[in-house]
Structure 1
Amino acid sequence: MTVMNQQETVRAWRLQGREAEVHLYLSAAEGDVGALLGARVLGLPLALSIVPVSDWIDAADLNRAAVAVVQVNADSPASLKRFERLVATAGDTPVIAAAFEPPLALVRSLLRSGAHDVLPLPLSLGDLEASLAPLAAQVQQKDVQSLAGSSRLITFCKARGGSGATAIASQLACRFAAREAAAGRHACLIDLDVQFGDVAFQLGLNPKFSLTDAIGAGARLDGELLRSIATPHPSGLAVLSAPEEMLPLEALNNDQILGVVERAQRAYDTVFVDLPANWTHWSLSLAARSDLILMIADLSVVGLRQARRQLDLLHEQDLGDVPLEIVINRYEKSLFGSVKQADVTKVLNRDARFTVANDPATVTGAIERGVTVDEIKRKSAFGSDLDRLDKALVSLLGLER
């Protein structure tokens, strides 16, 4: 596993995360809006969504916004109703109305419904800055890290290629999702290994859409669209598959990846991410934001050595404070094995609390048939270890079942 520009620290990765923004919801890019999009107001970037004035706006989208500016048409009852509903569900996000030559009666009505201000269209940077000035303290305190709400983010990283991380990620996520569904919660697995990802294949899925479609949706990506792009698994797990075509890792950037993951966190209670074998700026950003990192290492001298190198790298990038658990895959308790549990602790300089049994017949059979391991063997050593991991996740994430 390698990292792009190892001299940078997590402070750089975090700064590359998606910022809270001043989001404009307009029916057309009129006037100076095109010029405004390159500007910043109160230190925050402007974002634009072209939305017909009668179309509903998903209130969850405002989680990404420090302030929302929404167009209202005086002669459109649906537009007025949309604005009132949005204000009522916006939580602590200020909502500003914008209208062409708004009559005094409309201005009063909008302010009574909860608008923080009413701006004339076409928008100008001066008017926008003046309107936002009284909100400066509130806007600048908006914490980007809280944008995803209470959703949990769990990332799987590979100590090295071939460690079996994807098999554990896909099988564990299915188990977890089925049990979470019984508790009324939903889970998603995003395959970000854009070159060699095969989560969908291992689970026997034939996705119509992939990560490429989610990224291509850009600002249009909301919870409903993401759920339609993700492929449902019988366990209840939603799978956002890797692209069908191989992509260079550098073809993706922080805004694209973090935008999709943040949207997934607003749509699902738990989001699992299978990372590529090589570190990138965006994968380090995801690691920094994770509630838990599961590092998968195989029980071999080379595997443990690579795991130690990964741990050292994460510490060098100031990611040592992110919760992380080592999972030793293909574990055997044989008295004659070349690597013992004591060797694991010695090499890693920490305990590996979780192991997954070496059960190639069950795992390979499940992958080849595209099913869960329980369909191959109802009670297997591999399945039992996944149960222990699932139970540990519930405890580590503070969930109740």
Structure 2
Amino acid sequence: MSKIDPNAHEARGWHAGGYSPPVKLFLTGAAGDPGALAGVEVAGFPIELSIIDEGGFPGVEDVADSAAAVVQVATDDPATVAQFGALARATDVPMLAAAFDPPLSFVRQLVRAGAHDVIPLPLDIADLETSVQPIASELATKTRSAHVGLEKSIMVIKSEGGVGATALSTQLATRFAANEAAAGRETCLLDMDMQFGDAAFVLGLKPRLTLADLIQAEERLDGALMRTVATDHPSGLKIVSAPNEILPLESLSAEHAFRILNLAKAEFGTVFVDLPMNWTNWSLSLMTRADMVLMVTELSIPSLNRARRQLDLLNSQGLGDIDVRVVVNRFEKGLFKKLTRSDAESVLGREVAYTICNDHQTMSEALERGVPIAEVKRRSALGKDLDILDSGLAGALGLER
């Protein structure tokens, strides 16, 4: 058996939305034409073709790590149905059979043996798409059902520009995503700072598709497009990047912002939302959907005063009952610091929930390299503070790990 990847010129199995497992075809030379499959996808999955000998049959290890496997069977060989059934029972990969002019009785035998469908040969891409689409829909449904009851949103706002909110939220989100992935769940970061957002950039990513594509999709926006636009980070975090070009804040309506957030939660479960510094009707409206808000500020009188004004704005808009947790970034500890945690709480009129220590060197190197801080320094006070924040969020949102 020889494998021929008709899309080998591309990064195998990778798309704008991250890794997508292939549909593996196991066909004889007479049934498989690699040239005709170049650049072709079925139901959003790339194709991988393996040429098998007459009478040959793939094993469990051959079909592993695929979205579905299509195996050619011979209508004149009764043993082929038994072989197909044994393979279907030995793997969780959805199995489809392919045959030249299969009689109805033969199709029924294959379906009873575990075939999701039987595709006629020579192979027609439209037939293959029709057969694979229900499998793709079933996978999407399973993914969404895993998030039922766990759809949460965490809005990140800042007292002012320059307090390190984006650096903090991206580093927090990667840790949160890695821990959620270990529990079998997903996490997304929506960078909705349409003018100055750079969450993807500081994590070393350069997405081709961005939030702008979700905005332009209008009525075509759905879960499949959401996953296509979201870019995978090695931590498991899905990132919807801010637009590559500066867009007017008015480009997004409150209704469309709601739809984007709701779809992200339905697809991924927990969603971090990095909001723009300037308030808009849609960003204030999104706050009503927040399960938690992180207000990022610094330990300085100007920054704390601006944070207090932000909190006062939320109260004036009837949003005072939202769970807002103040995070003091670049927190200095020691006997000779000018301001204390108590001073911050006095200015804000509320408790400081979390402090993140000032480790400029570690954070700067992580940002320059576009990596999580754990890759810069395995153990650090900064990492410990982020772990405390991560655990606090998970506990408050009811996410068992």
Fold equivalence (TM over 0.5): yes
Q: Offset at 1:226?
A: 1.1
SS at match of 1:355: strand
SS at match of 2:244: coil
Q: Offset at 1:218?
A: 2.2
1:397 alignment counterpart: 397
2:58 alignment counterpart: none
* Paired residue type of 2:167: A
1:209 alignment counterpart: 209
Tell me: higher relative CO, structure 1 or 2? Use CA pairs within 8 A at least 6 residues apart.
Answer: 1
1:348 alignment counterpart: 348
Unaligned runs of 5+ in 1: 1-54, 56-77, 90-147
Give CA-to-partner distance per residue, 1:18-49, whole Å, 9 cap, x none: xxxxxxxxxxxxxxxxxxxxxxxxxxxxxxxx
SS at match of 1:278: coil
Supply the distance in 1 between the matched residues of 2:353 and 2:326 (Cα, whole angstroms).
7
Supply the distance in 2 between the matched residues of 1:345 and 1:179 (Cα, whole angstroms).
31
Supply the distance in 1 between the matched residues of 2:353 and 2:269 (Cα, whole angstroms).
25
2:155 alignment counterpart: 155
* Paired residue type of 1:314: L
SS at match of 2:206: coil
Contact 1:152–1:397 at 8 Å: present in 2 too? yes
Supply the distance in 1 between the matched residues of 2:272 and 2:345 (Cα, whole angstroms).
27
SS at match of 2:336: coil
2:186 alignment counterpart: 186
Q: Offset at 1:299?
A: 1.1
Supply the distance in 1 between the matched residues of 2:150 and 2:280 (Cα, whole angstroms).
26
* Paired residue type of 1:204: G
* Paired residue type of 1:387: D
**What TM-score, normalized to structure 2?**
0.63
1:361 alignment counterpart: 361
Contact 1:191–1:197 at 8 Å: present in 2 too? yes
Supply the distance in 1 between the matched residues of 2:385 and 2:149 (Cα, whole angstroms).
30
2:328 alignment counterpart: 328
Q: Offset at 1:150?
A: 3.8
Supply the distance in 2 between the matched residues of 1:374 and 1:150 (Cα, whole angstroms).
27
Contact 2:163–2:296 at 8 Å: present in 1 too? yes
* Paired residue type of 1:290: A
Q: Offset at 1:242?
A: 0.3
SS at match of 2:157: strand
- Identity of paired residues, percent? 52
1:239 alignment counterpart: 239
Q: Offset at 1:149?
A: 5.8
Supply the distance in 1 between the matched residues of 2:338 and 2:220 (Cα, whole angstroms).
54
* Paired residue type of 1:296: V
1:254 matches 2:254: yes
1:372 matches 2:359: no
Contact 1:149–1:265 at 8 Å: present in 2 too? no
Supply the distance in 1 between the matched residues of 2:342 and 2:264 (Cα, whole angstroms).
40
Q: Offset at 1:220?
A: 2.2
Contact 1:149–1:266 at 8 Å: present in 2 too? no
Contact 2:150–2:399 at 8 Å: present in 1 too? no
> How many pairs does the alignment contain?
263
Contact 2:166–2:199 at 8 Å: present in 1 too? yes
Supply the distance in 1 between the matched residues of 2:320 and 2:167 (Cα, whole angstroms).
26
* Paired residue type of 1:187: T
After superposing on structure 2, the runs of 4+ consecutive aligned residues of structure 1 that deviate more than 4 Å are none
Supply the distance in 2 between the matched residues of 1:223 and 1:380 (Cα, whole angstroms).
38
Supply the distance in 2 between the matched residues of 1:254 and 1:290 (Cα, whole angstroms).
14
Contact 2:215–2:252 at 8 Å: present in 1 too? no
Supply the distance in 1 between the matched residues of 2:361 and 2:381 (Cα, whole angstroms).
11
RMSD of aligned residue pairs (Cα, Å): 2.2
What pairs with 1:2-401 in structure 2 (closer than 5 Å)? 150-401=150-401
Decide whether aligned partners of structure 1 residues 184 and 174 sit closer, same or farther in structure 2, where only a CA change above 3 A counts: same
Supply the distance in 2 between the matched residues of 1:168 and 1:224 (Cα, whole angstroms).
29
Contact 2:164–2:329 at 8 Å: present in 1 too? yes
SS at match of 1:395: helix
Unaligned runs of 5+ in 2: 1-42, 44-129, 142-147
Give CA-to-partner distance per residue, 1:56-81, whole Å, 9 cap, x none: xxxxxxxxxxxxxxxxxxxxxx9xxx
1:133 alignment counterpart: none
